[in-house]
Amino acid sequence: MILEQARSKQKEIVELRRLLHQYPEVAHREFKTHRILLEHLERLGIEIRAPVAGTGIVADIRGKGRGKTVALRADIDALPIKEENDVPYRSLNDGFMHACGHDAHMSMVYGAALVLNDMRDKLDGNVRLIFQPAEEEGTLGGAKPMIEEGALEGVDYILGMHVWPELPEGTVGYRSGPFFAAADTFHLDIIGKGGHGAKPDMTVDPIVVSSKVIDALQLISSREIDPLEPVVVTVGSIHGGTAHNIIPDRVEMKGTVRTMNPKTRDTMEARMRRIIGGITSAFNASYSLNYIYGYPVLVNDRNVTEIMRSNLENLVGKERVVEARQTMGGEDFAYYLQKVPGTFLLLGVYNEKLGYVNSVHTSRFNLNEDILPLGSAIFVSGVMELLKH
Ligand SMILES: [Zn+2]
Ligand SMILES: [Zn+2]
């Protein structure tokens, strides 16, 4: 029934998705996206608050009863990737692409809004739509400023969903408790003393010291943390030197630290400083470390997740509802879940037959649009169910 109602909106959902897909915009610069969303939401005759947190939008569908409020969140930003899909709706912003499926997220929430707005007279409670900028930004993100500007005021539960090529199309992944990792970044400079490449004794070589540091940082996860607990330290960028025969003054590195346990997360900066400080002082070098705290661990509420699991089993069938694996990816939906109970779901989009096999953040990521009404239906049925609790 709900699935049929959502499918009856497929044309509008797909049209919006294609329009958004053509105009991908990166974090905090989602101006056209903002306008497109506004135009579509204004047609629904619902209460709209915009702009929120720069390019965000908050809208309310008010039901008849004085029940609870369930929020649905979509992220709206794209990525600096050149699209390689040969589709009629390919990106018109050269060098940018909705390669994380946030165009799908927006249109699925929009589809849910269409269905829920049709039945607003029967809703015992309200629906809050949250269109949030800058999920991909990584450090500050868009969720936190949206919350600071009141996006969660009066909200009792929240639902979010990500399209997920690691799950077969039409499968829904759920997980109670910690799900996405805390994602912190760091900038590390190893400072030595430059000189001639043939006279290392007159220098402090920051390249050699860096090699020891990088190596030793990997020992945090292998020697210092419980082996059953996931921790990642990645140095993703390293720059130093200009020529084969010159020892430079400094080496600059950037990296990311991922943890699944908030207590462990709190220890990581100190562990790194101890190791980096020890190694640099051993070799007469010094360092500067800028450790930047990003998104916290995303922790799904057990109660809401359980409600959604059984709800999903009724909607799509038991065999298509699976417990998802934890991922070391970060997701700023985590901030909402620190404030109100809710759950973040994964919607499988992998379809080998149709060639939808590429992962998110790649130039060929795409999905079968027939799946979008299912995403809308999941939101609608989630709202209906949670309003009863
Ligand atoms: Zn992404
Ligand atoms: Zn994403």
Catalytic residue among 84, 269, 306, 369: 369
**pLDDT of res. 254:** 97
The CB-side HSE value for 32 (13 A sphere, CA atoms) comes to 13
Token code pair at residue 114: 């269409």
Is the pTM of the predicted complex or chain greater than 0.75?
Answer: yes
Neighbours of ion ligand 1 (CB under 5 A): 100
Distance 387 CA to ligand 2 centre (A): 27
Q: From the CA of 208, how far away is ligand 2's center (Å)?
A: 37
CA of 165 relative to ligand 1 center, distance in Å: 12
| Centroid of ligand 2 to alpha carbon of 4 (angstroms) | 27
User: Which region, left, alpha or beta, applies to residue 101 given φ > 0 means left and ψ of -120 to 50 means alpha?
Assistant: left
User: Of residues 295, 335, 336, 356, which has the active-site annotation?
Assistant: 295
One-letter amino acid of 203: T
Counting ligands in written order, which one lies closest to the CA of residue 160?
2
Closest CA to 60 of 19, 107, 113: 113
pLDDT at position 373, please?
A: 98
pLDDT confidence of residue 65: 78
> Is residue 295 among the annotated active site residues?
yes
Q: Give catalytic status of residue 336 as yes or no.
A: no
Q: Nearest ligand, CA of residue 344?
A: 2
State the distance from the centre of ligand 1 to the C-alpha of 210, rounded, in angstroms.
Answer: 30
* Distance in Å, CA 179 to ligand 1 centroid: 15
Span from the CA of 97 to the centroid of ligand 2 (angstroms): 12
Q: What is the mean pLDDT for each group of 10 consecutive residues in the chain (389 residues)?
A: 96 98 97 98 97 98 92 98 97 98 98 97 96 93 97 98 98 98 98 98 98 98 96 97 98 98 97 98 98 97 98 97 97 98 98 97 98 98 97
Amino acid at 11: K
In this prediction, residue 66 carries a pLDDT of 82
Alpha carbon of 170 to ligand 1 centroid (Å): 20
List the chain domain ranges: 2-180+297-386, 182-295
C-alpha to C-alpha distance for 344 and 337, rounded to whole angstroms: 9
Does the domain formed by 182-295 have CATH 3.30.70.360? yes
Give the ligand whose atoms come closest to the C-alpha of residue 137.
1
Residues with CB under 5 A from ligand 2 (ion): 100
2-180+297-386 belongs to CATH 3.40.630.10:
yes
- What is d(CA 77, CA 97) in angstroms, rounded to the nearest whole number? 9
